[in-house]
Amino acid sequence: MKALLALYEKHKQKHGAAALIPPKNPSLKANETRILVFVRVRPLAKKETEAGSRCCVRVVDRRDVFLTEFASEKDYLRLKRLRGRHFAFDASFPDSASQQEVYSTTTSELVEAVLQGRNGSVFCYGATGAGKTYTMLGTVESPGVMVLAIKDLFSKIRMRSCDGNHVVHLSYLEVYNETVRDLLSPGRPLILREDKQATCFTIQIKYIENEFVGLDISYLCHPVNCSINSPDSNLSLKILTGIIAAGLTQYRAYSTDEVMILLQQGNKNRTTEPTRANETSSRSHAILQVVVEYQVKDAAMNIINKIGKLSLIDLAGSERALATDQRTVRSLEGANINRSLLALSSCINALVEGKKHIPYRNSKLTQLLKDSLGGTCNTVMIANISPSNLSFGETQNTLHWADRAKEIRTKATNANEDLLSVPETETDRAKLVLDLQKENCELRMQLARQHQKLMTLQAESLAPPTPPSATSLLSTPPTSARPNEKLRTRSSFIAATETKSKGDEVAVTIRTIQQRVKALEAELEKVKKNHSLQLKQKDDVIRELSQKVSTAKKRSFWDITAANSPSVTTLNGRKTRSHVISEPTAPSSMLLQV
């Protein structure tokens, strides 16, 4: 360590302290922002210590990484010589950094931005076994960025609105051997569709009493999901363009608990395999996307639709062919992983060099990351590295790419806003009440179904075990059913969740639905109350206005009377004016005297 520190100081003296400070937004144009790059060093693994490895990485001032190359023990000429290289990033985390610290520094601002209607992406990059999944997913005791981001998101939403205005949609997919798979409802591979214009628009076809009266087309800046909404008289079509995985499940999520269950389900479906470098190596790139959509009113009472998207990406590890000892399936996986990471590095190179053509189409991964790398998005890259000198090559490679990624510019994002010009009318409010009632009804039905499921599970657990039938004894175990099925689950995060019984999951879902039903009922009450309050206010205004009208009428009548009446002298000598209304409708009381 002393030697490392001395080398670092020497480097600092030679090149000056300024050389150690990363260039702060060099030559950024007004509407540009750059990718923020962070580095995290994991602790030395037991296996590495046992193999006698030495630490070749040092984090200085929580920002700089100093990488040392030790001369080979057989290289007698250079035995005592050290070579070092210095890298500077937006922040660097030593092996002692906590998950919360990593989350707060790298991602919490993105979560805030997503709630303002902006897009954000976080991706972990690094060699196999460098700690990407630990950073992204973590363990039950130390949850990672994905879990902390979702918790933070829901707690921020709760603080902002109690009226259920925010709608959260969730999707989780993996890219395995160049095929895209839905992790939330596994099935056939998904097809990626690309459209040159990454926009989304809503078409509203308007009918009044079955008569077509017009078309409303409004553009959204960013694709969200595909939905068809058909209330009584209006058909509203939300059409998506940009890169989409056709058929990908978009779950509407109501609470953190629910998202956690979905995340656990997704991770169980993710492809992991033991390799020599990592016991539970992720063999696929996983992308969790959270879309938050909500409406706000501006000063002119226009309704503004805001959409923010957060993509959290755990890439598969880059690896040398020799680092994994299996051939066949594993080597094919490795080749595909390397190919997609190579495509990613080509895109990074093209973006840094400002080329017009960026080869996103070279792999499924880069197609899916197009938004994060070159689109209107705030992007964060976390490069994970091992401190062991046995992984020097991989670490150097990762640091090289992380250093290069600092140069990528993305367009500064404006909030994804969609102005809904339709003012809130009586019919809109009635529609809202109907929608809420419908949703409430659906949730109640879902609740009943879940209750039923729970009862069945409880009954099953109480029933005495049945002897195995002849057919079940003969049937093959389910693990060998599909070649692509995951053979091992992740030891940390998932293993703990697997012990959780299905009954627990159902109970959590029931609790979530019950909470949602309650929230909906409160919301419904609020809307109804608001509605009757507004009606009452309207009545008051009408009453006040009619009073004003009648007073004004009286006044104008008197003005006319006063102008037309002749002046007469009364018996007591005072001058009076009198006028008899000639209009037949005027009542006799309107004979006025002053």
Ligand X SMILES: Nc1ncnc2c1ncn2[C@@H]1O[C@H](COP(=O)(O)OP(=O)(O)OP(=O)(O)O)[C@@H](O)[C@H]1O
The only residue of 308, 317, 334, 375 in contact with ligand X, by rule CB under 6 A = 317
Spatial separation of the C-alpha atoms in residues 10 and 14, rounded to whole Å: 6
Segment lying near ligand X (by CB under 6 A), choices 61-69, 225-233, 278-286, 357-365: 278-286
Query: What are the Cα distances from residue 72, in Å, to 75, 143, 150?
Result: 5, 38, 46
From the number of C-beta atoms within 10 Å of its C-beta (0-12, 13-18, 19+), residue 43 rates as middle
316 is an interface residue for ligand X by CB under 6 A: yes
Binding-site residues from annotation for ATP: 126-133
> In the block, which residue shows the tokens 């039938």?
469
For residue 487, give the nearest of 195, 272, 219, 192 by alpha carbon.
272
Shortest reach from residue 320's CB to ligand X, in Å:
13
For residue 296, give the nearest of 525, 115, 538 by alpha carbon.
115
Question: What mask of x and - would describe binding to ligand X in positions 217 to 236, judged by CB under 6 A?
Answer: --------------------
The only residue of 7, 11, 12, 43 in contact with ligand X, by rule CB under 6 A = 43
# of chain residues touching ligand X (CB under 6 A): 19
Segment lying near ligand X (by CB under 6 A), choices 47-55, 180-188, 279-287, 433-441: 279-287
Shortest reach from residue 128's CB to ligand X, in Å:
4
Shortest reach from residue 151's CB to ligand X, in Å:
19
What DSSP element (H or E) covers 325? none
Comparing CB distances to ligand X, the nearer of 27 and 96 is: 96
Comparing CB distances to ligand X, the nearer of 311 and 450 is: 311
Segment lying near ligand X (by CB under 6 A), choices 280-288, 457-465, 470-478, 545-553: 280-288
What DSSP element (H or E) covers 202? strand 200-208
Segment lying near ligand X (by CB under 6 A), choices 122-130, 152-160, 171-179, 414-422: 122-130
Segment lying near ligand X (by CB under 6 A), choices 63-71, 275-283, 375-383, 453-461: 275-283
The residues that bridge with 124 in the sheet, in sequence order, are 314, 382
106 is an interface residue for ligand X by CB under 6 A: no
The only residue of 105, 264, 384, 391 in contact with ligand X, by rule CB under 6 A = 384
Q: Which of residues 475-494 bind ligand X (CB under 6 A)?
A: 492
Q: Are strands 36-41 and 91-93 parallel, antiparallel or unpaired?
A: parallel
The only residue of 34, 118, 132, 486 in contact with ligand X, by rule CB under 6 A = 132
For residue 324, give the nearest of 379, 370, 282, 269 by alpha carbon.
282
Segment lying near ligand X (by CB under 6 A), choices 42-50, 209-217, 370-378, 532-540: 42-50
What lies within 8 Å, CB to CB, of 486 at 6+ separation is: 268, 269, 270, 271, 272, 273
Tokens of 571: 């018996």
Q: Is 55 in contact with 400 (CB distance < 8 Å)?
A: no
133 is an interface residue for ligand X by CB under 6 A: yes
The only residue of 33, 249, 264, 281 in contact with ligand X, by rule CB under 6 A = 281
Length of the chain: 594
Segment lying near ligand X (by CB under 6 A), choices 13-21, 214-222, 274-282, 455-463: 274-282
Spatial separation of the C-alpha atoms in residues 442 and 568, rounded to whole Å: 81
Spatial separation of the C-alpha atoms in residues 123 and 62, rounded to whole Å: 20
Segment lying near ligand X (by CB under 6 A), choices 129-137, 183-191, 263-271, 328-336: 129-137
What DSSP element (H or E) covers 578? strand 575-579
The Cα angle at residue 234 between residues 232 and 236, in degrees rounded to 5: 125
Comparing CB distances to ligand X, the nearer of 63 and 276 is: 276
92 is an interface residue for ligand X by CB under 6 A: no
282 is an interface residue for ligand X by CB under 6 A: yes
Shortest reach from residue 318's CB to ligand X, in Å:
8
What lies within 8 Å, CB to CB, of 521 at 6+ separation is: 440
For residue 357, give the nearest of 374, 338, 341 by alpha carbon.
374
> In the block, which residue shows the tokens 């020497």?
10
Shortest reach from residue 286's CB to ligand X, in Å:
10
Rg of the chain in Å (alpha carbons)? 34
Comparing CB distances to ligand X, the nearer of 485 and 525 is: 485
Shortest reach from residue 134's CB to ligand X, in Å:
3
Query: What are the Cα distances from residue 16, in Å, to 8, 93, 469?
Result: 11, 23, 78
Q: Is 365 in contact with 21 (CB distance < 8 Å)?
A: no
Q: Is 33 in contact with 377 (CB distance < 8 Å)?
A: no
340 is an interface residue for ligand X by CB under 6 A: no
388 is an interface residue for ligand X by CB under 6 A: no
Comparing CB distances to ligand X, the nearer of 131 and 266 is: 131
Name the residue number minimizing CB distance to ligand X.
317
324 is an interface residue for ligand X by CB under 6 A: no
Beta strands of 315-466 (E only): which ranges? 378-385, 409-411, 416-420
Tokens of 200: 């989304």
Segment lying near ligand X (by CB under 6 A), choices 124-132, 152-160, 302-310, 450-458: 124-132
387 is an interface residue for ligand X by CB under 6 A: no
Q: Are strands 64-70 and 57-60 parallel, antiparallel or unpaired?
A: antiparallel
> In the block, which residue shows the tokens 């997913």?
137
Shortest reach from residue 185's CB to ligand X, in Å:
23
Q: Are strands 416-420 and 303-314 parallel, antiparallel or unpaired?
A: antiparallel
334 is an interface residue for ligand X by CB under 6 A: no
202 is an interface residue for ligand X by CB under 6 A: no
134 is an interface residue for ligand X by CB under 6 A: yes
Comparing CB distances to ligand X, the nearer of 102 and 350 is: 102
Binding-site residues from annotation: 126-133
Shortest reach from residue 416's CB to ligand X, in Å:
31
The only residue of 57, 59, 115, 130 in contact with ligand X, by rule CB under 6 A = 130
Task: Give the neighbor-by-neighbor strand order of the sheet with 575-579.
Answer: 567-569, 575-579, 592-593
The only residue of 59, 65, 87, 126 in contact with ligand X, by rule CB under 6 A = 126
Q: Is 305 in contact with 293 (CB distance < 8 Å)?
A: yes
Shortest reach from residue 281's CB to ligand X, in Å:
3
Point out which residues bind ligand X (CB under 6 A). 42-43, 45, 126, 128-134, 278, 280-282, 316-317, 384, 492
